Amino acid sequence: MNNQNPYKDFTDRFKLLLSKHRQPITITLSNIFTMRLIGNKTHGDLAEIAIAEFINQYMYDFRSIHVGKELFRAKSKEEDIQIINEITNDKFPVSLKAYGHGSLQLSTDKNFRMFPRLEEESTEISDQATIQHILSDPAFTGFGDINVLSLIYEEKNFRCNIIVFDWELAKSEIALITKVVKGKGRKHPIYRFDDKNGNYICEVRYGDAEANALQRGLWTHTKRAESYFESITSGWIDYTHNHALVKLFSHALVSSEVGHEIALEKIIEDIALIKQKSGI
């Protein structure tokens, strides 16, 4: 009997697939980050449908559904795609992030609970019992139910990575929580979480209802907290811009559904060819 966390089982399988078959994910990530040529934020929304379709096409024991923006108000958790293990019937949500290599938002903390909970404590907390008591508070335990899959990129170097933040490891290593109120360009205070060697792990940003989604919640930094991430792609993947895809999008937006159906037939044939060449 497999007692492993369903999401961890998925990421392990995902990592194994990518270690054996690089071409399909390289193509997919290149297409995702090509979308930045259309708009700086376009790639984020399209990454959701791209990764959902990648799972459906290449991970035969799993099925994925893009939750969609129209269901946003009905979401009980932070999720962009839902994954179903066809063998065990486990179903779990995934929050997909597409950020540049650096600051990374892990949770919006939409109920504004993390920051207010920390304000109940002193401005510097080093007592382990107190730290673990805070992390076991409902304000923080809810984050353990959020499965975050992060696609990060370095546009200058044309490379990208798929990573997962190890929250369980982070919790076990947090040795100091400090309130930081001053800093370059800082508008709101944060609570910084460090390990016993003074290394940065993550931070909680201002959580008042007045703060927008990009000013609050649990954040980390993919460079400064590198040891708390697992790379699903086993390191960086070089990507290239697919200019033909940009042209395809522009033409598709002014063509009819008939043309789209014809193009889709050719694309399905191409996916089959990719699978054949990759031995999937």
Residue 1 above 60 pLDDT?
Answer: no
175 class by beta-carbon count within 10 Å (0-12 exposed, 13-18 middle, 19+ buried):
middle
Contact of 162 with 231, CB cutoff 8 Å: yes
DSSP codes of every residue in 116-145: HHHHTS-SEE--HHHHHHHHTSHHHHGGGG
Residue 73 above 50 pLDDT?
Answer: no
Burial of 23-44, coded b for 16+ CB within 10 Å and e otherwise, reads: ebbbbbbbbbbbbbeeeeebbb
What average pLDDT score do residues 228-244 get?
Answer: 97
Amino acid 40: pLDDT:
85
Residue 85, φ and ψ in degrees, nearest 5: -80, 115
Residue 38 above 60 pLDDT?
Answer: yes
DSSP SS3 for 280: coil
Rounded CA separation 255/260 (Å): 7
Q: What is this structure's pTM?
A: 0.91
Confidence of residue 213 (pLDDT cuts 50, 70, 90): low
Rounded CA separation 68/81 (Å): 8
Q: Which residue has the tokens 């109940």?
A: 120
